[in-house]
Amino acid sequence: QLQLQESGPGLVKPSETLSLICSVSGDSITYKTYYWGWIRQPPGKGLEWIGSMYYSGITYYNPSLKSRVTISVDTSKNQFSLKLSSVTAADTAVYYCATSTLGNFDAYDIWGQGTMVTVSS
């Protein structure tokens, strides 16, 4: 059974780059025709899609974040990552990595537990 686990700094300074890794266990990330994505949730608020990557390497980003976001995959480490540059307090949130083993862009059936990232000096 595929499992995901987010990791990264819990505190990031304003204007710096937030970097998170999603480690995949239970199966190889290689050749899987899945979508790999990042979703965040500010404290007490709803879900916001950040972006997704198809197994082929094609990436899709939320237009409101596109200029600051990069999602990439490292098949040698069986993980994928998120980088969000020039962060502000508005980027404080729980960040989830997720995957669609259904092969659907819209349906994420496996999620990590989430990691809280606070942007503060």
Partner 1 sequence: QSALTQPASVSGSPGQSITFSCTGTSSDVGGYNYVSWYQQRPGKAPKLLIFDVTNRPSGVSNRFSGSKSGNTASLTISGLQAEDEADYYCSSYTSITTLVFGGGTKLTVL
Q: Which of 94, 111, 97, 70 shows the shortest CA–CA distance to 6? A: 97
CB neighbours (10 Å) of residue 96? 22
State yes or no: residue 80 binds partner 1 (CB under 8 A).
no
State yes or no: residue 48 binds partner 1 (CB under 8 A).
yes
Binding residue for partner 1, selected from 12, 20, 24, 52, defined by CB under 8 A? 52
- Beta-strand pair 18-25/79-84: antiparallel
> Which residue number, 70 or 75, has a Cβ lying nearer to partner 1?
70
> Which residue number, 17 or 113, has a Cβ lying nearer to partner 1?
113
Binding residue for partner 1, selected from 49, 70, 78, 85, defined by CB under 8 A? 49
Least spacing, CB of residue 64 vs partner 1, in Å: 7
Strand ranges for the chain from DSSP E: 3-7, 11-12, 18-25, 35-41, 48-54, 59-61, 69-74, 79-84, 93-100, 110-111, 115-119
Least spacing, CB of residue 11 vs partner 1, in Å: 20
By CB under 8 A, name the binding residues for partner 1. 37, 39, 46-49, 52, 60-64, 96, 98, 102, 104-109, 111-114
